[in-house]
Amino acid sequence: MNLQTICEDTYTRLRKTFVFPVVEKTWAKEQSAVLTDMKSREEEVVLCGDGRCDSPGYSAKYCTYTFLDVQSQKVVDFKVVSCTQVSSSNTMEIRGFKEALTTIEGNGVKVSTISTDRHPQIVRNEEKCHEFDPWHVAKGVSKKLAAAAKRRECEGLGEWIPSIINHFWWSAQTCGGDAEVLKEKWVSVIHHVTNRHDWPGNRHYHCCAHEPLDETSQRSKLWLQPGSEGHQALVKTVKDKRLVKDLGHLTKCIHTTSLEVYHSMYLKYLPKRTHFGYDVMIHASMLAALDHNNNANGTVMFTYFHVSVFEQAVYQDGESVGEPKFKISWSKVHKRFRARPVAVQKDYGYMKAMVADVLSSVSDSNQGVDMRETQTHIMAPQDRLPRSQIIVQTQQFSRFK
């Protein structure tokens, strides 16, 4: 098309000279406001953290570890760790965890509890009150039960998996912060699936909390036979040593689902299939954090995956004015339609101030690229010149400089 535009070097230079400083300035202001709010609270500060690698698999080049404040649902801090900074890519997450936590506490924030996934290095090195995300634990239990249910001798176990996972969530939410109560409630599921609803020997939980089942319900249930292959597989999974040990980190039932939602939005700024440099990883992470924080302060929150996420939209006119909006969507996992809340449109007003700062820095800057002098030969279309004349003009321009 013979359409001239800026080259890659010019684009990179403009971005580094004018855009990146504005992004850093805006994020520093936002982070300072979040930290100030956290320091002013009387109650304990609870954080949830998780790491995100830039590529799938075990050969990631960067790992971004992010801490999110549970109360305000805002990003507090993040650290981008390169594989060249550590001995192996497996240790990037623990390094990002330590550096981000040090920065937060260095600003005067007293962190009492941290909720993460079941990363073994973080468990061994963290001395604070450390909670696990129940969703990650429930996901692991569901995978083990699903694998066992595929065996022919474990017929009938697959039908119980949704109820077993619901029982796990109920046990974590109703334990009252007592690890022993949580363990007894969780292990009781091995009795319920065999149509046994009371048992001796426990200190706190001796019978099922549901109402007595009528004769019709008992006949319709696909009870497991005690001692059968399916029941033995369930007992092995429920009483797994690591799982029972980790139940002590689920007593407060602190979720990291909001952080998972943030990482999903993060892909808009840093897709995993595209390679980026270290400076772009940092500044794009700042943009993602600004996007999340400026849309995480809704007054009416709806619950999704057991956690409040965004403000729910309401009807503005018609017969349903003021009522919350929902949409029908198909669930590939559960194989049925579901009603999901509709979130309000995101607000990108904060970007207008950033654009104004960029333009102001261009007009007021005494260094970098002078846009008025270079506009003619960078952006505007020109007639094509012979190669010899282009070489002569380039040499004359070099001597002039």
181-193 pLDDT, tens digit per residue, is 999 999 999 999 9
The pLDDT > 90 percentage for the chain reads 38
Whether 45 contacts 109, CB under 8 Å = yes
Whether the pLDDT of residue 289 is over 70: the answer is: yes
Cα 80 from Cα 95, distance rounded (Å): 10
d(CA 37, CA 41): 7
Backbone angles phi, psi at 302, to 5 degrees: -115, 160
Residue (of 168, 192, 190) closest to 243 by Cα position = 168
* Euclidean distance between CA atoms 327 and 345, whole angstroms: 15
Amino acid occupying residue 72: S
Distance CA 76, CA 296 (A): 12
Task: Specify the pLDDT at position 400.
Answer: 41
Residue 12 clears pLDDT 70, i.e. is over it? yes
Mean pLDDT of the chain: 83
Whether the pLDDT of residue 302 is over 50: the answer is no
Could you tell me how far CA 283 lies from the centroid of its own chain?
Answer: 18
Q: According to the model, what pLDDT value does residue 57 have?
A: 64
Q: What is the pLDDT of residue 297?
A: 62
Which run of H or E residues covers position 310?
strand 307-311
Residues contacting 147, CB < 8 A, separation 6+: none
For position 11, what pLDDT does the model report? 92
**Torsional sign, CA 27, 82, 50, 122:** negative
303: pLDDT strictly greater than 70: no
Mutual angle of helices 229-238 and 134-149, in 10-degree steps? 160
Judge whether residue 259 has pLDDT over 70: yes
For tokens 């007894």, name the residue. Answer: 184
Is the pLDDT score of 236 beyond 50? yes
- Which of 3.40.720, 3.30.420, 1.25.10, 1.10.3470 would CATH assign to domain 31-132+274-293? 3.30.420
Single-letter code of the amino acid located at 239: K
**CB contact at 8 A, 192 and 235:** no
Assigned token pair, 315: 């009807």
- The CB density around residue 346, as the number of other CB atoms within 10 Å, is 12
In 3D space, the residue among 120, 228, 204 whose CA is nearest the CA of residue 236 turns out to be 228
Instruction: Calculate mean pLDDT across residues 11-37.
Output: 93
Give the C-alpha distances (Å, rounded to integers) separating 18 from 28, 32, 366, 367.
16, 22, 12, 10
Q: Could you give the count of Cα atoms lying within 13 Å of 383 in the half-sphere of its Cβ?
A: 3
pTM: 0.77
Phi, psi of 140 (to 5 degrees): -65, -40
State how far the Cα of 67 lies from the Cα of 96, in Å rounded to an integer.
Answer: 10
What residue ranges do the domains of the chain occupy? 1-21+368-401, 31-132+274-293, 135-249
Above 80 in pLDDT, residue 388? Answer: no
State mean pLDDT over 277-298: 89
Q: Report pLDDT digits (tens) over 116-162.
A: 888 777 766 556 788 888 988 999 999 999 999 998 888 888 889 99
Question: What DSSP state is assigned to residue 357?
Answer: H
CA distance 38 to 48: 14
Give the DSSP H or E segment for 23: helix 20-39
Mean pLDDT check: name the lowest of 1-5, 305-309, 376-380, 387-391: 376-380
Query: Can you tell me the distance from the alpha carbon of 390 to that of 379, in angstroms, rounded to the nearest whole number?
Result: 17
Q: What is the pLDDT of residue 253?
A: 86
Summarize pLDDT for 71-117 with one digit per residue, the tens. 888 999 999 999 888 888 888 889 999 999 999 999 999 998 898 88
DSSP secondary structure code for residue 317 in this structure:
S
Helix, strand, coil proportions of the chain in percent (round to 5)?
A: 50, 15, 35
> How far, CA to CA in Å, does 292 sit from each of 40, 59, 346, 362?
22, 28, 9, 27
Q: How many CB atoms lie within 10 A of CB 308?
A: 17
